[in-house]
Amino acid sequence: MKKIELLSRNWLVEADIASAFVWKGWCKQKLPLVTFVLFCLNLVLAPAVYAAANGSLERRYAWAVGVLILLTLALAGYLFVVVFQPERF
């Protein structure tokens, strides 16, 4: 008798549905996803800022500075797009 792994299959299907949902949402509304990705990246960046500050910054300030750094990088990326594809603007 063949053994079917229902759990594994359901997980794959649901992941596929979730990714399709996220992709559809990405196409419609980019801002929430961009914000989400930025906060995810800040999960890595904020502790690094906190460590670099050597205790002079509180944890909440490190999170805010992390967001500010990511925003600055995003603006730099946007300006690079303007430089290389100016006709879009």
The answer to whether 27 contacts other proteins (rule: CB under 8 A) is no
Least gap, CB of 77 to other proteins (angstroms): 10
The answer to whether 49 touches 67, Cβ cutoff 8 Å, is no
Q: How far apart are the first and last CA of the chain?
A: 63
Residues 36-75 that bind other proteins (CB under 8 A): 57-58, 61, 64-65, 68, 71-72, 75
Comparison of 38 and 64: residue with beta carbon closer to other proteins: 64
| DSSP state for residue 88 in the 8-state scheme | G
Q: How far is the CB of 83 from other proteins (least distance, A)?
A: 5
* Residue with the two structure tokens 């990326």: 77
| Least CB distance to other proteins at residue 10 (A) | 40
Give 46-78 as a DSSP string.
HHHHHHHTTTSS-HHHHHHHHHHHHHHHHHHHH
**Binding flag, residue 78, other proteins (CB under 8 A):** yes
